[in-house]
Amino acid sequence: MSVSNRSSRPADARITRSSRSAESQDSGSGRYGKPRKKQADSTLAQDLSLMNVNGQGGLNASVGKQLGQRPSGPSANKSGGGLASVARLMKMGRCKNVVVVAGAGISTASGIPDFRTPGTGLYANLEAYNIPYPEAIFNVDYFSNDPQPFFSLAKVLYPGSHQPNYIHYFIRMLHHKGLLLRMYTQNIDGLEKLCGIPDDKLVEAHGSFTTASCHLCYTPYPAEDAKRLIMNGNVPTCTFCTATVKPDVVFFGEDLPQKYFLHTQDFPKADLLLVMGTSLQIEPFASLVNTVRATVPRLLLNRHAVGPFQRIPLRRGDHVELGDLEDTVRRFAEMLGWNNDIVELMKSQEQEQCIPTLVSGRSGKHQTGSDESDVETCSKCSASSCLS
């Protein structure tokens, strides 16, 4: 993120990242920010949501049935009614400006943990960093005091060791079909770009590892140099003010990138909103889903009902499809008749990314038993099979 991008932003357009869950902690004023009370949905919705988390979806389903609504509990993924309804609208040509809102859940199929899943999420495995609460690892004030916890986590999060999955290519197919108005992602893994979603169709609301800068004076710093230092356990420092340099990932308390403000143009134009793999816990990103016109259909594809999709009854035009996200998206693609196209797109993209290189053993040759021979392998995956 350059100095010009930050300094040119109008004062009244400044928006910083904040965490609902961090603000709702009942711990009083803390050293790294004063928690505020979370604004909850109705008591009924909270009770039913709690029962869903505990695996008791029966009451939610029965209440939804009494209210004439499709259930939004764990059983909601059985019928596929929401998918079918939205697929029908898309096939009729009623959805030509699709906005996608996505979170960490779209990347779990690529082997990247999400943040909040109990037991496996990144926030559940941060005890070793001795931080006051999980979100502190992305708190800019805490980082200024102790950057090592984030740099330790950054070694896991840096792009390069994971590949896009079917969900990413489904969104790429939306663009290929001329339907994607914009994708807004919370993710910093870079998989959206890697699968071929153009930069002008993508808003990385929480920044990325592509660039780096001083966290105090914003002086740019070579991203590759920062990565090399961090990976080697060192701390990159600013050449201007000697403060700590970090990748331009947006921390709690930092300004969102200027590109985020495209939402003021995009969401009023949207005729379909797809919400995928997000807990809708981080503001102001979470509130974007409420800015489309009241008549616009919204489809949540997720493991759990979140945000406004927890309400009973659902808003007219809202659809909820719960379960394994990759399986759900695959069924959605099959309803649209896109599955074969997506599979072919994945194959062609993977072949483009696999570049044959010569892997040499001693004497410039690859060792195969007692014989020496030249072997071409993929520089990405170190396997010859991907070249066939």
Give me the phi and psi of 23, to 5 degrees please.
-70, -25
Which residue do the tokens 């909601």 mark? 76
CA 177 to chain CA mean position, Å: 22
Q: Which whole-number Å values give the CA distances from 3 to 29, 144, 150, 262, 294, in the listed order?
A: 32, 19, 23, 20, 38
Long-range own/partner contacts, residues 348-352 (CB < 8 A, 24 or more apart): 349/164, 349/169, 349/195, 349/196, 350/163, 350/386, 351/386
User: What is the C-alpha separation between 332 and 338, in angstroms, rounded?
Assistant: 9
Q: Do 104 and 217 touch, CB atoms closer than 8 A?
A: no
User: What is the C-alpha separation between 169 and 177, in angstroms, rounded?
Assistant: 12
| SS3 call for 19 | strand
263 catalytic residue (yes or no):
no
Segment (H or E) for 269: helix 263-269
> How do beta strands 375-378 and 356-359 pair?
antiparallel
* Residue from 168, 175, 206, 319 carrying the catalytic annotation: 206
Residue with tokens 């969900």: 167
The DSSP 8-state label assigned to residue 208 in this structure reads E
Classify residue 257 by its DSSP letter: P
The contacts of residue 55 (CB under 8 Å, 6+ apart) are 74
Q: How many Å apart are CA 352 and CA 108, to the nearest integer? A: 23
* The 3-state secondary structure of 307-346, one letter per residue: HHHHCCCCCCCEEEEECCHHHHHHHHHHHHCCHHHHHHHH
Nearest alpha carbon to residue 91 among 335, 321, 368, 292: 335
Query: Which residues form the catalytic set?
Result: 206
